[in-house]
A and B are shown apart, each in its own frame.
Chain A
Amino acid sequence: MLSVIVFSALAVIALASGIAVFRVDSMARATYALAVSFVAVGVMLLMFDLDYIGVITILMMVMEMAIMAIYMIMFMGMNPALMPMSMVHNKRWSAILAVGTFLLLAGGALLIPWAARTGSPAADLTASLGEAIMGSKMLVMLTVSPILFATIVAALVLANPRGRYDRWGDELNRPTPDDPQQGGLGR
């Protein structure tokens, strides 16, 4: 009974802060609200004995939201809390679609006769996860690793304002680099 109460409270916090993300005027507050939602879900994962996944979710998302707050402040160029303005489109249809999707998913959750639980969790869930990704599920890690590496490269290429083609020309054959300020390393 206590777990139901705690879980329900966490769910309300996660949902309320999720709604607050799109209701508050300040971008920083929106980011913090999202961080609160993630922390609440992370604690829910801890209630499922998912210690490792729960902790990395909380740590990763809090750091991610800190970075996101910087981006919001950097790109918005003004404080919406001081200059409230509507930055939404298709509000009505978005709401209709979201409510319709919720009714569909909630209906499915309530009406589907879910199977009974088979098996029981391992004594040490973190160790069993480690054994799985280093054993029978190694292909998942082998796939995820290059994807993450490709993401790092792609993100750097997209975010980099000046690459070597900007400096040395399309054929990379310019005798001197086209830099705003001369100097630095040559070829």
Chain B
Amino acid sequence: MTLQLVLIAAAALFCVGLYGALSQQVVVMVMMGLELMLNGVILAVAAFWWFLTPVPDGQVLLLVVITAMTVEMAMGFAVATLLHRSRGSDMTDSATDLAG
């Protein structure tokens, strides 16, 4: 197992998530894309930690990424609930009030 192999797997996961986050219309599906992107980030951070400097700092960074993922999910669900209640829809295209 090499750093390059792990980073390519992480990049692939990140980019699949990027595609989903950009292309999906349903808010929860967009959140799934963001989750996949963070999944790739977690893998990449773990690889950097293991192959370059296996000191505790890298593990702390992983905890921060996992926390970011948790915050994103909690706020995403709350916004999806609010959107569904106020607009009766969970599509991103119906929530463009602040766009442009």
Quick check: B57 and A137 within 8 Å, CB to CB? yes
Give chain A nearest CB distance to B38 CB in angstroms. Answer: 10
Once A30-B32, A34-B36 are accepted as A-B contacts, the answer to whether A56 and B16 lie under 8 Å apart by CB is: no
Please, how many residues of chain A have a CB less than 8 angstroms from a CB on the other chain? 80
Quick check: A151 and B32 within 8 Å, CB to CB? no
Binds B, one of A99-107, A168-176, A178-186: A99-107
Quick check: A18 and B36 within 8 Å, CB to CB? yes
Chain A residue numbers with a CB within 8 Å of B66 are: 53, 56-57, 60
Residue among A18, A95, A132, A156 making CB contact with B17, cutoff 8 Å: A18
Chain A residue numbers with a CB within 8 Å of B39 are: 14, 18, 37-38, 41
Quick check: A98 and B16 within 8 Å, CB to CB? yes
**Is B67's beta carbon under 8 Å from chain A?**
yes
Please, how many residues of chain B have a CB less than 8 angstroms from a CB on the other chain? 67
Complex formed: what's the CA distance from A101 to B84 in Å?
A: 33
Chain B residue numbers with a CB within 8 Å of A115 are: 52
Quick check: B52 and A68 within 8 Å, CB to CB? no
**Is A79's beta carbon under 8 Å from chain B?**
no
Complex formed: what's the CA distance from A117 to B71 in Å?
A: 33
**Is A62's beta carbon under 8 Å from chain B?**
no
The residue in chain A whose Cβ has the minimal distance to the Cβ of B3 is A114
The residue in chain B whose Cβ has the minimal distance to the Cβ of A52 is B59
Known: A19-B16, A53-B63, A161-B85. 8 other contacts (CB 8 A): A45-B43, A45-B46, A60-B66, A68-B31, A99-B15, A109-B3, A109-B4, A159-B82
6 A-B pairs whose Cβ atoms sit less than 8 Å apart in the complex: A22-B16, A22-B19, A56-B66, A121-B50, A122-B56, A129-B63
